[in-house]
């Protein structure tokens, strides 16, 4: 069994990061899960949250994503996020701006989408707390 797999973090504008990783923790639509090498192929949408990657040398890096999707294949894990930041306190402001927009949207959302919109807001609040 392979020890590492390839990890890609891609935004629409450019490839943000790409290296070998031991495991990747993802905020999946149906709950958090960790992808390790030789994980069964999955495509999942992501909620706002932290993507935590353990690199081949053991270094841990975390990224804040505000949504997107992840593709796990034989070759590795690719995270396609519309926006991703390194999860440090410096970048909190950026996510907070996003939260403001989401709040406004949630208030205006029609009845049937309101729950989903509020869930998104909650996820973002949690994400900001997690960013240290």
Which residues form the interface with another protein (CB under 8 A)?
8, 10-15, 28-30, 40-45, 68-69, 71, 73, 78, 80, 82
What are the two backbone dihedrals, phi and then psi, of residue 123, each rounded to the nearest 5 degrees?
A: -60, -40
- Give dist(CA 68, CA 46) in Å, integer: 5
CB-nearer residue toward another protein: 43 or 93: 43
d(CA 1, CA 90): 38
Which one, 82 or 130, has the nearer CB to another protein?
A: 82
3-state DSSP call for residue 68? strand
Cβ proximity to another protein: between 19 and 69 the closer is 69
Smallest distance, another protein to C-beta of residue 67, A:
9
In the chain, where does DSSP find H-type helix?
92-108, 111-130
Q: Cβ 132 to another protein, closest distance in Å? A: 27
């Amino acid at each position: 069994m392979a020890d590492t797999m390839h990890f890609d973090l891609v935004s629409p504008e450019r490839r943000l990061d790409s290296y070998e990783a031991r495991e990747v923790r993802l905020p999946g639509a149906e709950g958090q899960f960790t992808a390790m090498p030789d994980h069964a192929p999955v495509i999942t949408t992501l909620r706002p949250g932290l993507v935590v990657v353990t690199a081949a040398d053991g270094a841990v890096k975390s990224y804040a994503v505000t949504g997107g999707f992840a593709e796990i294949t034989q070759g590795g894990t690719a995270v396609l996020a519309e926006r991703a930041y390194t999860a440090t306190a410096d970048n909190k402001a950026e996510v907070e701006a996003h939260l403001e927009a989401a709040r406004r949207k949630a208030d205006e959302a029609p009845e049937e989408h309101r729950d989903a919109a509020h869930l998104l807001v909650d996820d973002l609040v949690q994400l900001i707390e997690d960013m240290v």
